Chains A and B, each alone.
Chain A
């Protein structure tokens, strides 16, 4: 049973992610950053999953919409702001990667590329290593439903299923791969249905309800720790924003459709649950909003004055344990 404090912490993480994400859109429209890819509408699935696992112990291979997941793992708004602006202190890549290409060694988050589904076989490999060493860690890897069309994805999941590896494949089904709807990605109703063909446990969960996601992930994580193998969890949700700051979703979906889904905003759903339980009061909410604004303001201000990387020997270093080769 989740404590009142934990529930509030989960809500806070979602809220902070939302306000940071919204600020990124503003900064982009103001011409202060080059690019943003959003996780708005997906925070419940991401935060719910992380809180069900052991932070600093389990392993995480996120995808580019996992801003809330990363904040839940200890990545800070300041870290994100530095990355958005390509500043030297960007802890994911020192300004080499576009924002949202996560890496956080301290939280067991390996560096991610933009090529979708490549993290799936890495997750299987990490699961294999955990099994070879006889440990009880769990690997969580996230992906969008469109990317489950990749051969990469099938091969990685297949490995985990064959060897009963402790991996949770969390598919955040936000209904769209840029402009393409689920029906253009698969003949089955959704990614969870693919599990039976691959030989692992597949389940759907309402990805807009953070507490339902938490319950499911906690259950399959325990199963994985007991050596009972991988699971495929499809979190059903909706991408409220365009694909990225370069996309215009008015070209392929109606405003009415988007507005309808905004009523199922995971942040509002969590808020309603917590208000009903008496965990969240209007006064507390006001406090949290003010705190989020302060943190995001500070993060952006810090990143804007932070230095860019300099072109030095480090920029040509391509091998570990050696000097520059260029």
Chain B
């Protein structure tokens, strides 16, 4: 099986879906000749032409609004928001329009749009190139929210997202674009939107994470294994709809739950996971639920020591999991 980077897998997913379905097209800033500022669409402009890989004006709400319109007509747009930090001008279109279209029309209209955005810190991006925005969207009924942590899932989930009749938010851990490598089969496959995946089994503590934090959680689990602590790692993958079954299965087995995300703590996605565990697995717990998240400040600071202070990393995750395992 060929090995590739996260971003290569994402590009391949779009390429294959564009080849398969003439309704699929890409719209975003610099996605054409430039191939995207992260090069996610590299080569697609040359292959599919300017009518299917469309350079948008520098205006995010209309990137999404135009995508919604085209989707209402029966197209399958992939809207690229250059950085998740810049998605907020499109918030009204995503939350007020795309998410509600199916419900408000009693199923008469659907919006099969995928909104891709690189998210996350640790790349010297400061307050406005580092944000994690998933909690805003996971709160909204009518949106699916997907965050892959590895090339295999990224490709399979993105292909599923493009084929999904509903709006899908697809957040990509940009720090992992070229850092995270993995095997990707040559033959066609899909990864369903919905199920989480237990990516490492262990009996002492469950670590719930997604995206870049899942990558770090696996490293933390490796460190803990050297000390004789067996951490289970659960890759949530789809944040909405949430896979309660897998979360509860894991926590019932280990009795201890650590939730990790780089988005800041308060009302972050971990709050929902913690609430699910408290509500449905209270008597299975051997320790209080623990959250490890970014601090409650309005963004990831730029300067290296400040960024380091903000970001969870394998050591911080291992420390939190160790404490929990020893509780």
Question: Footprint of B on A, CB under 8 Å?
Answer: 59, 92-94, 96-97, 101, 103, 105, 110-111, 113, 115, 118, 120-130, 132, 151-152, 155-156, 158-159, 162, 314, 317-321, 325-326
User: Is B199 part of the binding interface, using a Cβ–Cβ cutoff of 8 Å?
Assistant: no
**A136 shortest CB reach to chain B, Å:** 14
User: Is B109 part of the binding interface, using a Cβ–Cβ cutoff of 8 Å?
Assistant: yes
Across-interface contacts of A156 in B (CB, < 8 A): 62, 65-66
Contact of B65 among A96, A105, A121, A320 (CB under 8 A): A121
User: Is B68 part of the binding interface, using a Cβ–Cβ cutoff of 8 Å?
Assistant: yes
Pairwise interchain contact B105-A103, C-beta atoms closer than 8 A: yes
Across-interface contacts of B105 in A (CB, < 8 A): 92-93, 103, 105, 110-111
Pairwise interchain contact B142-A124, C-beta atoms closer than 8 A: no
Pairwise interchain contact B62-A319, C-beta atoms closer than 8 A: no
Pairwise interchain contact A152-B65, C-beta atoms closer than 8 A: yes
**A82 shortest CB reach to chain B, Å:** 12
Pairwise interchain contact A128-B66, C-beta atoms closer than 8 A: yes
Q: How far is the CA of A113 from the CA of B100 in the complex (A)?
A: 9
**B175 shortest CB reach to chain A, Å:** 31
Q: How far is the CA of A111 from the CA of B144 in the complex (A)?
A: 20
Q: How far is the CA of A133 from the CA of B109 in the complex (A)?
A: 20
Q: How far is the CA of A132 from the CA of B69 in the complex (A)?
A: 13
Pairwise interchain contact B103-A121, C-beta atoms closer than 8 A: no
Q: How far is the CA of A200 from the CA of B41 in the complex (A)?
A: 31
Contact of B93 among A121, A132, A314, A319 (CB under 8 A): A121
Across-interface contacts of B106 in A (CB, < 8 A): 93-94, 96, 314
Across-interface contacts of A152 in B (CB, < 8 A): 61-62, 65, 92
Q: How far is the CA of A314 from the CA of B144 in the complex (A)?
A: 19
Pairwise interchain contact B61-A125, C-beta atoms closer than 8 A: no
Known interface pairs A118-B92, A159-B62; A129-B102 also in contact (CB < 8 Å): no
Pairwise interchain contact B65-A319, C-beta atoms closer than 8 A: no
User: Is B57 part of the binding interface, using a Cβ–Cβ cutoff of 8 Å?
Assistant: yes
The 18 listed contacts between A and B (C-beta, < 8 Å) are: A101-B104, A111-B109, A120-B65, A121-B66, A122-B65, A125-B71, A125-B73, A151-B89, A155-B59, A155-B62, A156-B65, A159-B62, A318-B142, A319-B142, A319-B166, A319-B241, A320-B110, A321-B166
**B residues 248-304 in Cβ contact with A at 8 Å:** none
Across-interface contacts of B77 in A (CB, < 8 A): 125
Contact of A126 among B70, B101, B104, B165 (CB under 8 A): B70
Q: Which residue of the partner chain A has the closest CB to B141? A: A318
Pairwise interchain contact A126-B72, C-beta atoms closer than 8 A: yes
Q: How far is the CA of A282 from the CA of B165 in the complex (A)?
A: 54
- Which residue, of B25, B57, B65, B77, has the highest number of chain A Cβ atoms within 10 A? B65
Across-interface contacts of B110 in A (CB, < 8 A): 320
Q: Which residue of the partner chain A has the closest CB to B241? A: A325
Across-interface contacts of A103 in B (CB, < 8 A): 104-105, 108-109
Known interface pairs A113-B100, A158-B59, A318-B103; A125-B66 also in contact (CB < 8 Å): yes
Pairwise interchain contact A118-B65, C-beta atoms closer than 8 A: yes
User: Is B97 part of the binding interface, using a Cβ–Cβ cutoff of 8 Å?
Assistant: yes
**B280 shortest CB reach to chain A, Å:** 16
Apart from A159-B57, A319-B142, A320-B165, what are 4 other A-B pairs with CB-CB below 8 Å?
A97-B104, A125-B65, A151-B89, A318-B142
User: Is B74 part of the binding interface, using a Cβ–Cβ cutoff of 8 Å?
Assistant: yes
Pairwise interchain contact B103-A96, C-beta atoms closer than 8 A: yes
**B101 shortest CB reach to chain A, Å:** 6
Pairwise interchain contact A125-B141, C-beta atoms closer than 8 A: no
Q: How far is the CA of A222 from the CA of B64 in the complex (A)?
A: 28
Known interface pairs A118-B93, A155-B61, A318-B142; A128-B69 also in contact (CB < 8 Å): yes
Q: How far is the CA of A221 from the CA of B144 in the complex (A)?
A: 38
Q: How far is the CA of A197 from the CA of B92 in the complex (A)?
A: 25
Across-interface contacts of B241 in A (CB, < 8 A): 319, 325
Top 10 A-B pairs ranked by shortest CB distance? A125-B69, A121-B65, A122-B69, A155-B62, A111-B105, A94-B106, A129-B73, A125-B66, A320-B165, A125-B70
Contact of A115 among B67, B92, B101, B103 (CB under 8 A): B92
Pairwise interchain contact A317-B72, C-beta atoms closer than 8 A: no
Pairwise interchain contact B62-A124, C-beta atoms closer than 8 A: yes
Across-interface contacts of A319 in B (CB, < 8 A): 102, 142, 144, 165-166, 241
Known interface pairs A121-B61, A158-B59; A320-B92 also in contact (CB < 8 Å): no
**B214 shortest CB reach to chain A, Å:** 24
Known interface pairs A96-B103, A125-B67, A155-B57; A111-B108 also in contact (CB < 8 Å): yes
Pairwise interchain contact A121-B68, C-beta atoms closer than 8 A: yes
Q: How far is the CA of A120 from the CA of B97 in the complex (A)?
A: 12
Across-interface contacts of B2 in A (CB, < 8 A): none
Pairwise interchain contact A132-B65, C-beta atoms closer than 8 A: no
Q: How far is the CA of A155 from the CA of B89 in the complex (A)?
A: 11
User: Is B51 part of the binding interface, using a Cβ–Cβ cutoff of 8 Å?
Assistant: yes
Q: How far is the CA of A151 from the CA of B65 in the complex (A)?
A: 12
Pairwise interchain contact B66-A158, C-beta atoms closer than 8 A: no
Across-interface contacts of B68 in A (CB, < 8 A): 121-122, 125
Pairwise interchain contact B57-A105, C-beta atoms closer than 8 A: no
Contact of A105 among B70, B93, B96, B108 (CB under 8 A): B108
Q: Which residue of the partner chain A has the closest CB to B242? A: A325
Q: How far is the CA of A128 from the CA of B106 in the complex (A)?
A: 26
Q: Which residue of the partner chain A has the closest CB to B112? A: A320
Across-interface contacts of A318 in B (CB, < 8 A): 102-103, 141-142
Contact with A along B47-86 (1 / 0, CB 8 A): 0000110100101011011111111111101000000000
